[in-house]
Amino acid sequence: MVVCDLCGQKTECFQRGIEGREYDICSDCWTPLAKKLEGKGKMKKEDQKPSLVTQPEESPTLPGDH
């Protein structure tokens, strides 16, 4: 048993890395925190997808071009 860094209760905690630091956080504290932080922060480089550049299918024909 370890003391949770967030709630201070002596429970079974897991080490979580947040901003380069390690914290002991119980699951009761981690679940709402994870939901709150979801979608925040920067993407990891391996998670980033390259953007696709699309080309126009066909250039429009102008009057007189046949």
pTM value is 0.52
In Å, how far are 18, 29, 38, 52 from 32, measured between CA atoms? 15, 6, 10, 35
Two structure tokens written together for 36: 């709150």
pLDDT of amino acid 54: 61
Triad 35, 40, 41: Cα angle to 5°: 135
Q: Count other Cβ atoms within 10 Å, centred on residue 66.
A: 5
50 pLDDT above the threshold of 70: no
- Segment 10-39 mean pLDDT: 89
Domain ranges of the chain: 1-28
49 versus 4: the higher-pLDDT residue is 4
